[in-house]
Amino acid sequence: MAKLVSKTYGDALFELAVESNQLDSFLEEAKGVLSVLESHDELNRLMNHPKIVKEEKIATLENIFKGRIKDELVGLLRMLVEKDHYNDTTAVLEYFIEQAKEYKHIGTAYVTTVMTLGEIQKANLVEKLLATTDYVEFEMHYEVDPSLIGGMVIRIKDRVVDSSIKSKLATL
């Protein structure tokens, strides 16, 4: 159910952003809202409290966001509360962000290595990824895992390239 909700609302927001030619600003504001929601547990507890009426929840969201983000995003948050889908807000915003990044050909890569990569190594890796994919830009996430022994693991969406010694030993 949550996937259907996130897709429905996320697609609607995406179409609105593209049609109004404001995808970049919608994307930045959606990231900001997501950051606020993820970093304030008190807000989420308040919004999920069963004894607080919808009108109060909507007023709270409007006090926080109105005038700081686009009215369309405030309207989306309001609608999610009205339709009892506030719990899906994070999923909706994440879905929208992924759609927007895909539309702009921005890839997200998760790279796991044995030790921290230097700036030159990171630049070479990004250059190689750009050359081998259809993306024009990458959002990189690096992680260190000494259990790999050597090599690296790169994950882009559902594709994984595992050149680690750990996996090669496991294959043997």
Stretch 24-30: mean pLDDT: 96
CA 133 to CA 111: how far, in whole Å? Answer: 15
* Residue that is written with structure tokens 């969201």 in the block: 61
Residue 2 has pLDDT above 70, yes or no: no
Ordered alpha helix ranges (H), 20-161: 23-39, 41-48, 54-65, 71-82, 89-103, 119-132
What confidence tens digit (pLDDT) does each residue in 100-151 have?
999 999 999 999 999 999 999 999 999 999 999 999 999 999 999 999 999 9
Whether the CB-CB separation of 14 and 99 falls below 8 Å is answered with yes
What residues form DSSP beta bridges with 155? 110, 160
pLDDT at 154: 97
What confidence tens digit (pLDDT) does each residue in 49-68 have?
889 999 999 999 999 999 99
How is residue 150 written in tokens?
């050597």
